[in-house]
Structure 1
Amino acid sequence: MWAAIKGLVTGLSTKAKIALILLLGLGLLLGPVLLVILLLALLVMAIVAAVRAAAAG
């Protein structure tokens, strides 16, 4: 698999390599931020469900 990835990168143009590096960097930077947002959304949904269950019961 590593050889296939190396072959793909070798065949890319310089502009495509730069774009790939920028996308990987952006993904590494935004990944943790998106994870925190997802966890906060799950926490809010759990709180809302608990409040609704308490109000119904």
Structure 2
Amino acid sequence: MLPFSCFFWVTILIIYRYARNNLPVSNYFIVYLFLIHDIIKHCFHNINSRIPYSRN
């Protein structure tokens, strides 16, 4: 889960830096990204929970 999370935040950082230079980025955009991240993390956690060999 950690590698996916790191990849996600690197992608978000790139998108944020690009958007900040070209578009007015509001605080709601950041909250929206956090919400998306939590939803994706929850979905991936549920998928990984069904796979026995992925458990630590």
TM-score, length of structure 1 as denominator length: 0.45
Flag the structure with larger Rg: 1
